[in-house]
Structure 1
Amino acid sequence: MPHPLIPDLERLVCPLAEASGLAVQGVEIQAQRLPLTLVVQIRHADGRDVNLDDCAAFSGVLGEVVEASELMPQAYVLEVSSPGIGEELLDDRDFHSFRGFPVAVCFRDGKDAETTREGLLLERDAEHLQLNLRGRISRIPRSDVISVRLVTPTTG
């Protein structure tokens, strides 16, 4: 269950990021840590990854705004970072970046049962997701795809 302050923090963080040419990829409070940690993940608005200098610059600006808002009256650590590479492929950028990588695709087959196939990601277009399954091309209708996750390559 997300922390109850997340929506208020997102309303504070998103316009600030947008004004800085950034896009917020996630806001999380890690309450199990002492002091608790406010994690904000950012990218450039055009989809490029951020570097350490970008994170440090935004952290300074964001820290001042969060302090002034008094949303976080207790002690906390502010952590601004890039979302990095997620295990699940979500957007066009991910599918383009990981062409040729091994993936597991969970999808609905013709009988509405969930099926998983592992292969090398070839392409995702408006209609299909294409995998290389040991040299054979498999086309899965995009509307049937439930999830696509990076996997560790298997040998053999």
Structure 2
Amino acid sequence: MPHPLHDDVEALVRPLAAEVGFDLCGLQLQTHRVPMTVLVQLRPAGGGDVSLDDCARFSGLLGEALETADLLDEPYVLEVSSPGVPEELRDDRDFRSFRGFPVVVTVRDGEGSEHAREGLLLERDEQAVHLNVRGRRSRIARSDVIAVHLSSPSEG
């Protein structure tokens, strides 16, 4: 169950992040910690990575905004970070960012059973996920794809 102030804090963070060129990827108010931790995860709106300097800069801006808004009446620690590398690729940005990386695609075959296909991610378009499997292009219809996960390269 989210903290009762989650939506109010998000309404403060999201436009502030957008104003300085970031997308809000995650927000948690971790009340099981003492003091409470406000965990904010950002991505640059135009793609790329979040640097430590970006996190520090945004932390200062957000800290001032939280103090001015007076939403949190208890002590808290503010943590600003990148969401890190996702295990499962979900959106177009993930598929662009991880082109050439080894992936495992969980596929549903025509009989309803599941199996895994491994290869290097080439792209995802409207119709299919394209992999390089041992030097050959393999096309998997998007309608058959259950999930795409990053994997470790196979040892030879």
Structure 1 length normalisation: TM-score?
Answer: 0.84
Could you tell me how far apart the structure 1 residues matched to 2:58 and 2:80 are? 8
- The corresponding residue for 1:34 is 34
Could you tell me how far apart the structure 2 residues matched to 1:37 and 1:153 are? 36
- Cα deviation for residue 148 of structure 1 reads 1.0
Distance 1:105 1:64, change over 3 A: same
Could you tell me how far apart the structure 2 residues matched to 1:4 and 1:145 are? 37
- Cα deviation for residue 30 of structure 1 reads 3.0
- The corresponding residue for 1:54 is 54
Could you tell me how far apart the structure 2 residues matched to 1:146 and 1:71 are? 41
Kindly report which structure 2 residues correspond to 1:4-83, keeping only aligned pairs within 5 A, or say none: 4-83=4-83
- The corresponding residue for 1:126 is 126
Unaligned runs of 5+ residues in structure 1 are none
Let me know the Cα RMSD of the aligned residues.
2.1
Unaligned runs of 5+ residues in structure 2 are none
Could you tell me how far apart the structure 2 residues matched to 1:140 and 1:52 are? 38
Kindly report which structure 2 residues correspond to 1:96-107, keeping only aligned pairs within 5 A, or say none: 96-107=96-107
Kindly indicate whether residue 140 of structure 2 is the aligned counterpart of residue 140 of structure 1: yes
Task: Write the letter of the residue equivalent to 1:115.
Answer: H
Task: Write the letter of the residue equivalent to 2:124.
Answer: R
Could you tell me how far apart the structure 2 residues matched to 1:134 and 1:97 are? 21
Percent identical:
60
Total equivalences in the alignment: 156
- Cα deviation for residue 127 of structure 1 reads 0.9
Task: Write the letter of the residue equivalent to 2:141.
Answer: P
Q: Deviation digits for residues 26-63 of structure 1, max 9, x if unmatched?
A: 11233333322111111222123232222222111111
Could you tell me how far apart the structure 2 residues matched to 1:4 and 1:105 are? 38
Higher mean C-alpha displacement, 66-75 vs 121-130: 66-75
